[in-house]
Amino acid sequence: MKAPARSVVRSTGLCALLLLLALPVRPQPRLQSPVERSGFERLTSYDTLQAFLETLDGRGHCTVRRIAQTHKGRSVSSVLVTSSPRFGEDTLKLRVMLFAQQHGDEPSGKEALTLLLARIAGLDLDRILSRIDLIIVPQMNPDGSELRQRRTADDVDLNRNHLLLTSPETRGLHDLFDTWWPEVTMDIHEYGPNSRAWSDSGFVKSVDVQLGMLTNLNSSGALRVYERGSAFPFVDSTMQKCGYSFHEYIVGSPEDFIRYSTTEPNDGRQSFGILNTLSFIQEGRGGTELEDGLERRARSQCASIEALLAFCAGRSAEIRTLVARERRALVAGRGLPVVLCMDHFVGGRKMIIPVRRVPSGRDTLWQVHPLHDQVKPLCTRSLPSGYIIPGELTGIREILDRHHVQREIVVGSRRVDAVAYIIESVQPDTLEGEWHPRPSLRAEKVKRVLRTGDIVVRTDQTRSLFLGILLEPESMWGLVKYDGFSSLLQGREYPILRIP
């Protein structure tokens, strides 16, 4: 007996559905970064980068926001990445901030971050994102990038603008940091392997990626030990497995001496490090031309970044606890030692680095000698309870506001006990190869009347050591070093008072 027609239709429909389900599913095409789409032949332009970021917004856990507008009207964009419903909602997640291309002629870090973002959009890093929230600024200096030059269009070196924050790009980055207070940061750069300082010695560095750690002695000693003893070995081992050469970041000349990079808190690593952040600088190998060997340069930078993220994800609770403890210590303020002058000295560490002989091109190893592997303090002061800044020093007030420093604006008048520095002489000095004014001082107890508009800044806040570095007259990286503030050392008395 024939089955009813309706049953035939149902049976046929069911078979068709089963057949459809049995067919192999074609995977969705993976999102490619612009540099991948060009076959690594072209650098990603500003316009292309912005279009790429637009495709990411709302996709694969990504939210894109502008953090600054440059001198030429271009946007500096950030990408907030989270697997949670909202960024920052899960307080158990570690927060990591990555930013690249402060120098416009160092493009491989930007390209590495676009590779990373494409992988994130494809959900390739979901295991890592289950433990961390990620903040990415792929291009800090779009004006310089478009001009293929190191500085911004208005001739500012962004990596020496983290103290005064006069440029919108660095202000935007620090505002972003202050919004989320990430526990880990990485500032991504390139180094020039063919510098005359090396080639005149008969060889050049041939390392794919160098990683620099905190060197300023005002950053937490516990964080510095953790970076060197735990984070660096993990990234080093991972990079070797990936087939990339890797080394600690060093600067200097083989004919003179080699040392770790600067202790300057005016750059993208130490400025966050003195707030007790686990902060790094990455230096990928540059090319003679900006496009030379671009694929290996971008992929090796990306591999090192992913290795650090894997380390952070695996130890997220440990890092959060460590950073929180060290930041609480900053709030103690009064009595904390602040190192005002420091320099590099020869220690006992042995270091061997891969190099390439000139002109033979033969790869070999070189034992660094002499290696200035120790940073030692030369001048240290204890922090006072606070500082008194005369109201007429409006430039200092603006800097404090840019850094969101807590301070009181005096209304009315009141008498206070204070300590003044009496300037006996000012001599030039050279530290880290730079000129610094070195004043000779004596401290004197004084009674003063505060007037309306004067500023009182207490040191019981997270930026306690930053205040000492900024305001103390003996600080090698302080205000007195910069144009517009050298007059602070020209009178008999230093105008900023200490509250005992």
User: pLDDT digit string (tens) for 135-184?
Assistant: 999 999 999 999 999 999 999 999 999 999 999 999 999 999 999 999 99
Q: Please identify, among 325, 345, 365, the residue that sits at the C-terminal boundary of a domain.
A: 345
One domain, residues 44 and 132: yes
pLDDT at 19 exceeding the cut of 70: no
Residue type, 316: S
Share of the chain above pLDDT 70, in %: 94
Terminal Cα distance for the chain, rounded: 106
Angle between helices 108-121 and 294-314 (to 10 degrees): 60
70 shares its domain with 215: yes
Rounded to whole angstroms, what are the CA distances from 494 to 338, 381, 448? 18, 16, 14
Does residue 333 sit in the same domain as residue 419?
no
Q: In this structure, are 417 and 287 located in the same domain? A: no
Determine the Cα–Cα distance for residues 379 and 359; give it in Å rounded to an integer.
45
pLDDT score, position 406 = 96
Average pLDDT, the chain: 93
Length of the chain equals: 500
CATH number of the domain where residue 56 is located: 3.40.630.10
Check if the beta carbon of residue 59 is closer than 8 Å to that of residue 121: yes
Q: At which residue do the structure tokens 């972003």 appear?
A: 176
Which domain range does residue 401 map to? 383-499
Place of tokens 């990620």: 134
The pairing of beta strand 132-137 with beta strand 94-100: parallel
Q: Look-up: residue for tokens 């007429």? A: 392
Residue 142 and residue 252 in one domain: yes
In the structure encoding, which two tokens stand for residue 420, read together? 């003044």
Spatial separation of the C-alpha atoms in residues 255 and 263, rounded to whole Å: 22
Is 50 a domain residue? Answer: yes
Q: What is the pTM of this model?
A: 0.93
The verdict on 389 and 317 lying in the same domain is no
Instruction: Classify residue 176: in a domain, yes or no.
Output: yes
326-370 per-position pLDDT tens digit: 999 999 888 999 999 999 999 988 899 889 998 898 999 989 888
Amino acid at 353: I
**DSSP annotation of 231:** I
Q: Are residues 201 and 307 in the same domain?
A: yes
Q: Residue 125 falls within a domain, yes or no?
A: yes
Examine the domain organization and report whether 161 and 272 are in the same domain. yes
**329 and 419 in one domain?**
no
Total Cβ atoms within 10 A of residue 485: 17
Q: Is the pLDDT of residue 24 over 70?
A: no
Number of structural domains (the chain) is 2
What's the whole-number mean pLDDT along residues 315-329?
98
92 lies in the same domain as 226: yes
Asked if residue 335 and residue 458 are part of one domain, the reply reads: no
Half-sphere exposure of 444 (CA within 13 A, CB side): 15
- Region 36-47 average pLDDT: 98
Are 466 and 277 in contact, with CB atoms under 8 Å apart?
A: no
Residue 434 belongs to a domain: yes
Is position 458 within any domain? yes
The last residue of one of the domains, among 320, 345, 370, is: 345
Tell me, yes or no, whether 471 lies in a domain: yes
The 3-class SS string of 261-317 reads: CCCCCCCCCHHHHCCCCEEEEEEEECCCCCCCCHHHHHHHHHHHHHHHHHHHHHCHH
Provide the pLDDT confidence category of residue 17 given band limits of 50, 70 and 90. Answer: very low
Domain boundary among 345, 371, 399: 345
Please tell me which residue, 255 or 163, carries the higher pLDDT value.
163
Residue 352 belongs to some domain of the structure: no
pLDDT number for residue 12: 39
**How many angstroms from the chain centroid is the CA of residue 340?**
21
Whether 191 and 335 share a structural domain: yes
Q: Report pLDDT for 29.
A: 64
Note whether residue 4 is domain-resident.
no
- Angle formed at CA 314 by CA 309 and CA 318, multiple of 5 degrees: 105
